[in-house]
């Protein structure tokens, strides 16, 4: 008898029929004798609907505490509905809000981080024979305010619960069959991976493969929670995210990721002195804008250029934040580009093989795709290209590396 934490996303809970189908799926696990804790997202479209009403009202301001109270209602609704659907099948289940479980977070509304999860009320529910249906994506701070965890928050909730409960597995039940070597909508030859390491998944996730949020993968890796991505409605084992790949013969590259929703910001003619990078990025991170790639070249004449990427939705805010700063530090110019995309190749096999980067750059050059930025880690190489070349780049690389 295993203890499994299952997370169902918004699409899986999109309407009454789907909620009932999820309840049937859960019933199947119960019949196999597993103990379950279920984490739910809001019904698909619901969070956007709430945010849209909220924005109509907060025309010229940003009221994150209230936005969290507003959007947190979405998971409350789906948790109650799923609990009902299970009771309707004669299964004992009860909704538990983050605040009833006690998922304690810091007070950064809209992007809160989990600090502690109490297991007492969850264990009491499990011991009473109930399936707890926990609202994902949300928590409470020490002052009893409702907080939300931001993007991918429900995945993070599920993994964190699995970690504190010592669950045997954390299943992310979603609308895809698993993790693919590339986005199947872009590359026909893309295939599902049976296994992938946490490190690879982390690089893939943060690079936009959208299956799992990087925070949840990081969490799972740190606490050694076996994590599985699988389809809610199709049978299949999905993809298991493991600490070490069992197959010792590691492929060079395990997947290709891409991200469309990024934008590039360049500050040119910056004085090349110590502390300049933090001076530029400080106010941006203080405003809770996530910075992704950062590139700075060795400068000449005591001046340097500084480029980084942010989410496209944060682009205008970032420029507005930087404008006064650029004047203050005497930068020559501030420019940006929203029409970019990022393409990355990821694989633990890359560590021990030279020449992967050359192979990648050659492949792109042979398609006449200009590389605007390059950034690398031990198991990943990312390039920024004009957005119009995205599909071409992904397909060429998928074929080049024989995925």
Q: Does 21 bind its own copies (CB under 8 A)?
A: no
Site membership for its own copies, residue 266 (CB under 8 A): no
**Which CB sits closer to its own copies, 40 or 263?**
40
Residues in contact with its own copies, shown as a per-residue x/- string from 98 to 137 under the rule CB under 8 A: -xx-------------------------------------
Q: Which is nearer to its own copies, 124 or 332 (CB)?
A: 124
Q: How far apart are CA 364 and CA 372, in angstroms?
A: 12
Q: How far is CA 56 from CA 43, 51, 73, 366, in A?
A: 21, 9, 18, 48
The pairing of strands 35-40 and 131-135 is parallel
Binding window for its own copies (CB under 8 A); candidates: 3-11, 96-104, 257-265, 300-308? 96-104
> What is the β-pairing status of strands 227-231 and 239-242?
antiparallel
Residue bearing tokens 């893939």? 204
Subset of residues 65 to 84 that bind its own copies, contact rule: CB under 8 A:
65-67, 69-70, 72-74, 76-77, 79-81, 83-84
Contacts with its own copies by CB under 8 A: the residue count is 39
d(C-alpha 186, C-alpha 31), whole Å: 39
- Tokens representing residue 256 in the block: 């290709």
Q: Write the binding mask 137 to 166 for its own copies: x where contact by CB under 8 A, - elsewhere.
A: -------xxx--------------------
CB 106, min distance to its own copies, A? 18
Q: Which of 118, 104, 112 is nearest to 65 (CA)?
A: 112
Strands 131-135 and 93-96: parallel
3-state secondary structure of 397: helix
Q: Are strands 239-242 and 262-271 parallel, antiparallel or unpaired?
A: unpaired
Min. distance of Cβ 67 from its own copies in angstroms?
A: 7
Name the minimum Å distance from CB 287 to its own copies. 19
CA–CA gap between residue 289 and residue 381 (Å, rounded):
23
**Which residue in the set 2, 45, 57, 123 belongs to the binding site for its own copies (CB under 8 A)?**
57
Per CB under 8 A, residues contacting its own copies are 16, 19-20, 50, 53-54, 56-61, 63, 65-67, 69-70, 72-74, 76-77, 79-81, 83-85, 87-88, 94-95, 97, 99-100, 144-146
């Amino acid at each position: 008898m295993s203890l499994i934490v299952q997370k169902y996303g918004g699409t899986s809970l999109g309407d009454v029929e789907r909620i009932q189908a999820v309840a049937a799926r859960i019933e199947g696990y119960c019949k196999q004798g597993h103990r379950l804790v279920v984490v739910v997202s809001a019904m698909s479209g619901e969070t956007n609907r709430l945010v849209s009403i909220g924005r109509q009202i907060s025309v010229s301001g940003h009221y994150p505490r209230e936005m969290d109270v507003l959007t947190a209602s979405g998971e409350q609704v789906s948790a109650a509905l799923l609990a009902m659907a299970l009771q309707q099948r004669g299964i004992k289940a009860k909704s538990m809000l983050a605040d009833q479980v006690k998922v304690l977070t810091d007070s950064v509304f809209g992007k809160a981080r989990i600090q502690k999860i109490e297991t007492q009320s969850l264990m009491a529910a499990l011991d009473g024979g109930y399936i707890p249906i926990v609202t994902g994506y949300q928590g409470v701070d020490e002052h009893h305010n409702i907080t939300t965890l931001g993007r991918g928050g429900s995945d993070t909730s599920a993994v964190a619960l699995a970690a504190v409960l010592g669950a045997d597995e954390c299943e992310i039940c979603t609308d895809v069959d698993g993790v693919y070597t590339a986005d199947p909508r872009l590359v026909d030859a893309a295939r599902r991976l049976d296994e992938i390491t946490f490190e690879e998944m982390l690089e893939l996730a943060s690079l936009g493969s959208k299956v799992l949020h990087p925070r949840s993968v990081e969490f799972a890796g740190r606490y050694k929670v076996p994590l599985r991505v699988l389809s809610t409605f199709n049978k299949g084992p999905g993809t298991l995210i493991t600490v070490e790949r069992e197959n010792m013969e590691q492929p060079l590259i395990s997947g290709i990721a891409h991200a469309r929703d990024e934008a590039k910001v360049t500050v040119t003619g910056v004085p090349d002195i110590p502390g300049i990078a933090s001076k530029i990025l400080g106010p941006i991170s203080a405003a809770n804008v996530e910075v992704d790639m950062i590139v700075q070249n060795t400068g000449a004449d005591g001046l340097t250029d500084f480029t980084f990427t942010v989410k496209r939705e944060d682009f205008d805010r970032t420029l507005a934040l930087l404008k006064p700063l650029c004047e203050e530090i005497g930068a020559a110019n501030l420019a940006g580009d929203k029409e970019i995309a990022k393409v990355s190749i990821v694989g633990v096999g890359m560590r021990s093989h030279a020449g992967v980067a050359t192979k990648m750059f050659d492949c792109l050059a042979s398609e006449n795709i200009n590389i605007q930025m390059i950034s690398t880690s031990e198991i990943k190489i990312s390039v920024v290209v004009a957005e119009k070349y995205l599909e071409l780049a992904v397909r060429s690389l998928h074929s080049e590396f024989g995925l």
